[in-house]
Structure 1
């Protein structure tokens, strides 16, 4: 079982990440603001505080990656 094919696919996905990320800049900024707002001082981020924002970012990444793959 050769792992070279796995690494090739992984490298390709990582190479495309900046392009996909650029398409989701607004969603990433909104998620980042949510995380920053909920972690002021030494407060830790708690699960699901920014779930809605994370889902929007995840959906954007998924859709951008699908468009790029075509």
Structure 2
């Protein structure tokens, strides 16, 4: 008998397999977010919460849109 959690792990693996394609669809937003994070890091590499919230939100909106358009 199959364990109920196998279905959950299968969905997780499928999402991880789709991640590179979603990231490719959001290359510009990912770049903007990465540059923001890199520029806002303090001397010790620490970031303050929500310092790049606007850029992160734009990236998440792109991921969401890409994921919805790539649903099988």
Q: What's the TM-score once normalised by structure 1's chain length?
A: 0.91
CA RMSD of aligned residues (A): 1.3
Q: What's the TM-score once normalised by structure 2's chain length?
A: 0.89
CA distance in 2, matches of 1:69, 1:48: 30
Runs of 4+ in 1 over 3 A off after TM superposition: none
The Cα offsets for residues 5-29 of structure 1, whole Å up to 9 and x where unpaired, read as: 1111111111110000100010000
Alignment of 1:25-64 (within 5 A): 25-64=27-66
* Runs of 5+ unmatched residues, structure 1: none
* Runs of 5+ unmatched residues, structure 2: none
Q: Does 2:71 correspond to 1:69?
A: yes
